[in-house]
Structure 1
Amino acid sequence: MKTNMLGLPIAESEKIVKELNTLLSNFQVYYQNLRGIHWNIRGKRFFDLHVKFEELYNDAQLKIDMIAERVLTIGGTPLHRFEDYLKHNQLEIGHNISKDETAVQLIVSSLTDLLKIERDILKKTAEIGDEGTNSMMSDFISEQEKTIWMMNAWLEESI
């Protein structure tokens, strides 16, 4: 079995690169959704949500860079064109969202969809001993689960 410079099987690593590029594409859409709701949010909760959405898009931007660098580390090339992102996107794309509950629901929905992709990557990387990618996915998952919990708690309060 041929391995890459990290000692991971090349054929399986190429499959992981594809999965990571799908995740990268979806994170780019998530990031743009967050920017849009950050810019367009209105209402009595504006000040709190505006700051929270900025926190989330800054975090997403860091994760985008981490994913792209992991693709490079395991021997691939990260996608970097908007048409590629849209081709691989599985998230709902928000448009002119200014209502607080709609914005938070979009975040919960997006994170839930990202979790599905990440758990699939987690399973595949565990099978080939790709601890670097596995660890990154595990960290993303635990952070996003907490954010989903917090956002759902906020939604309950606002009913």
Structure 2
Amino acid sequence: MILNSIGLDSQKTKLIANDLNHLLSNFQVYYQNLRGIHWNIKGKRFFDLHVKFEELYNDANIKVDEIAERILTLGETPLHTFEDFNKQAKVPVGKNISEDEKAVQLIVDSISELLKIERELLDKAGDANDEGTNSMMSDFITEQEKTVWMMKAWLGETI
């Protein structure tokens, strides 16, 4: 086993960085979805949702940066083109969504996909003794589970 300069197995961190790039790609699509629904939302709930969607895209923007910096910390290069993001992303793309319930459902569907990726990363990071990635994924998961709960409650649904 060859350790990198932060004391982690180089082969394992390369695999984790690849998975982080997959997460980064999905977060970029999620971010763009949030921008789109922020811009295009219409109806009686416009004022509340417009503000909420801005809050969510600002948070997603911060997380995108954190993911990219973690990839760099692990010694790899973060993806940074829309072409790369689109090839890897599994988050559904929302186009021209202006209806409140469709917009909120897109958020739930997107975060649900992000959570799957993050849970896989959490397991791999734990196996690699990569506490930095593990901690980041744990924080993301905790926050996003709460967001899903709140969005589902807004939709009148349960988890």
TM class by shorter chain equals over 0.9
The one-letter code matched in structure 2 to 1:91 is V
**Structure 1 residue ranges without an equivalent (≥5):** none
**TM-score, normalised to structure 1's length?**
0.98
Residue in 2 aligned with 1:140?
A: 140
Residue in 1 aligned with 2:15?
A: 15
Structure 1 residues 114-158: Cα deviation after superposition (integer angstroms, max 9, x where no partner): 00000000000000100000000000000000000000000008x
- Give the whole-Å Cα distance in 2 for the aligned partners of 1:116 and 1:6: 27
> Cα RMSD over matched residues?
0.7
**TM-score, normalised to structure 2's length?**
0.98
The one-letter code matched in structure 2 to 1:73 is T
- Give the whole-Å Cα distance in 1 for the aligned partners of 2:145 and 2:34: 17
Q: How many residues align?
A: 157
- Give the whole-Å Cα distance in 2 for the aligned partners of 1:137 and 1:127: 14
Residue in 2 aligned with 1:40?
A: 40
1:53 aligns with 2:66: no
Structure 1 residues 10-56: Cα deviation after superposition (integer angstroms, max 9, x where no partner): 01100001000000000000000000000000000000000000000
**Structure 2 residue ranges without an equivalent (≥5):** none
> Residue 33 of structure 1 aligns to a residue in which SS?
helix
> Residue 42 of structure 1 aligns to a residue in which SS?
coil
Residue in 1 aligned with 2:80?
A: 80
TM superposition shift of 1:75 = 0.6
1:28 aligns with 2:18: no
> Residue 125 of structure 1 aligns to a residue in which SS?
helix
- Give the whole-Å Cα distance in 1 for the aligned partners of 2:3 and 2:121: 19
Residue in 2 aligned with 1:95?
A: 95
The one-letter code matched in structure 1 to 2:32 is Q
The one-letter code matched in structure 2 to 1:24 is L
TM superposition shift of 1:99 = 0.1
- Give the whole-Å Cα distance in 1 for the aligned partners of 2:82 and 2:51: 26
| Identity between Structure 1 and Structure 2 (%) | 68
1:129 aligns with 2:106: no
